[in-house]
Amino acid sequence: MNFFGINALESLINNLSHLPGIGKKTAQRLAIFILKSDAQFAEELADTIIKLKHETQLCQRCFNISEGPLCHICKDEHRDASKICLVEDIVDILAIESSHEFNGRYHVLGGVISPLSGVMPEDLHIRELVDRVTNENLKEILMAINPSTEGEATMIYISKLLKNNNVLITQLASGVPIGSNLEFIDPATIGRAILTRRKL
Ligand SMILES: [Zn+2]
Average pLDDT value for residue range 183-193: 80
Q: What is the pLDDT of residues 20-55, one digit of tens each?
A: 999 999 999 999 999 999 999 999 999 999 999 999
Pairing of strands 57-58, 65-66: antiparallel
Question: How many CB atoms neighbour CB 147 within 10 A?
Answer: 19
Mean pLDDT for all residues in the chain: 91
Q: What is the pTM of this model?
A: 0.80
Average pLDDT value for residue range 163-191: 79
Dist. CA 90 → ligand 1 center (Å): 11
Q: What is the pLDDT of residues 103-127, one digit of tens each?
A: 999 999 999 999 999 999 999 999 9
Dist. CA 72 → ligand 1 center (Å): 7
Question: How many CB atoms neighbour CB 22 within 10 A?
Answer: 15
Q: What is the pLDDT of residues 128-171, one digit of tens each?
A: 999 999 999 899 999 999 888 899 899 999 999 998 888 999 98
Strands lying side by side in the sheet with 104-108: 104-108, 80-87, 140-143, 168-171, 198-199
176 vs 148: CA distance, rounded Å: 11
Domains and their CATH numbers in the chain: 7-53 (1.10.8.420), 80-199 (3.40.1360.10)
Dist. CA 67 → ligand 1 center (Å): 10
Closest CA to 100 of 179, 6, 10, 186: 186
